[in-house]
Amino acid sequence: MAGPRIRLTKDLSPSLEHYLRAIYDIEQEKGHARVTDIAERLGVAKPAVSVALRSLRASGLVDHRAYESVRLTGAGTTRAKGVSGKFAILAHFLTEVLGVDDKQAIVDACLMEHYVSPTTMGRLLDLLRFFEREDKQDILEAFRAYRRSCESDDTCPTCSFHCDIVVPGPGAHAGN
């Protein structure tokens, strides 16, 4: 059976979501964000920030007039918090449950945060809460130590088609 055709159409690009998150973080730290702060935080040039701000302003997510500090609107704050929350849950899942090293987890969580559905995020949070329970620590430990062994494509019950996913040894870090 052919899978559904996935269309990754979003009202905001991942890049603009990063801008929202950066503005939110700076607001939390300093009370207000300036173009210079945002450029520094994201490692981009100031003209790039201005272009992004124009777009976010058109979407009603920020308030910004030339030479003044940037402010998230109510909708912008909600959106920024949503992205930050998804990132935190994904990073936690990748490091604490899957045992992916911190550096790779940050990269992966930053990609996934833009596309994972609220339904899947909700279930992921359920999984984290489940493993936080005292009586589930043994299961979590056992899972973190487990590595599958696939002798050949034919014997793998899960991937019925050829997959080139590397089977890492226990303690190995993805991406190394």
In the complex, the residues that contact Zn ion under the rule CB under 5 A are 110, 113
Which CB atom, from 37 or from 113, has the smaller least distance to Zn ion? 113
Nearest distance in Å: CB 6, Zn ion: 18
Nearest distance in Å: CB 77, Zn ion: 18
Please report, as a single letter, which amino acid is at residue 63.
D
Which CB atom, from 110 or from 150, has the smaller least distance to Zn ion? 110
Which CB atom, from 118 or from 171, has the smaller least distance to Zn ion? 118
Length of the chain: 176
The candidate with the shortest Cα–Cα distance to 69, out of 31, 18, 17, 41, is 31
Which CB atom, from 48 or from 110, has the smaller least distance to Zn ion? 110
Which CB atom, from 12 or from 110, has the smaller least distance to Zn ion? 110
Nearest distance in Å: CB 18, Zn ion: 6
- Closest residue to Zn ion: CB criterion: 110
Which CB atom, from 21 or from 64, has the smaller least distance to Zn ion? 21
Nearest distance in Å: CB 17, Zn ion: 6
Nearest distance in Å: CB 105, Zn ion: 13
Cβ distance 16 to 55 under 8 Å? Answer: yes
Distances in whole angstroms, Cα of residue 73 to Cα of each of 24, 52, 53, 137: 10, 15, 12, 42
Residues 6+ apart with CB under 8 A from 115: 8, 10
Q: Please give the full DSSP string across 9-69, using - where no structure is assigned.
A: --SS-HHHHHHHHHHHHHHHHHSSB-HHHHHHHHT--HHHHHHHHHHHHHTTSEE--TTS-
Nearest distance in Å: CB 75, Zn ion: 19
Distance of CA 83 to the CA centre of its chain: 7
